[in-house]
Amino acid sequence: MAPKQTRRPGPIVVDRELIECSAFWDLRAKAVRVLVRFFGKRKRTKMTLGRRQDWVTTNDGAIVFTYAEAQGLGINPNAFRDILDDLVGHGFIRIARIGGRLHGGVTLYGISDNWRDWRPGIDPPWEKRKRDSRRLGFEQEDVRRRAEGTRAANRAEGKQAPGRRGGEKGG
């Protein structure tokens, strides 16, 4: 299935220096595709800085790229997560705000120039994407504690555990 086409007016501008850097050539093909999409989502305005005019990104830190959008491009969620890790690790994007259901809202990204300092085999000095280390959902300890609480409450009320008959002993 071909990816859903969304057209935005204007060109996607990528600096020649970026295309020629080692960080760009170290990316996988899908990561390059996603990076180009990030560049397509940034809004640039020509501003006067002193005597010269330059293009400035006006929505830096407010770029939205959802997992659903990546799926529309034919990229599964696990691959998209790895691509985001690559792009942050190589210094092309940064995470401005973490989103998600529990955080409320979507993750906001910004375009970064850290790719200039990237070197193969060396950990970058900037912060990588943080793994979600929260322990969400049920864990064995939670299930055991809940079961013990239910058994104790049943004993207090004089009820039998489900599946047991009066005279049988459990093992």
DSSP label of 73: T
pLDDT of the residue at 158: 72
Angle, CA of 89, 95 and 98, to the nearest 5°: 130
Residue 112 placed within a domain? yes
Q: Answer whether residue 168 is part of any domain.
A: no
> Which residues, given as ranges, of the chain have pLDDT below 70?
1-9, 101-104, 124-143, 153, 159-171
Assess if residue 161 is contained within a domain: no
Closest C-alpha to 56, from 44, 68, 67, 66: 44
Domain that holds residue 104: 16-117
Question: Is 22 among the domain residues?
Answer: yes
What is the reported pTM?
Answer: 0.64
pLDDT attached to residue 10: 74
Residue 139: inside a domain: no
- pLDDT of 75: 93
Domain tally for the chain? 1
Q: What is the pLDDT of residue 29?
A: 92
> What pLDDT shows up at residue 117?
87
In a domain? residue 167: no
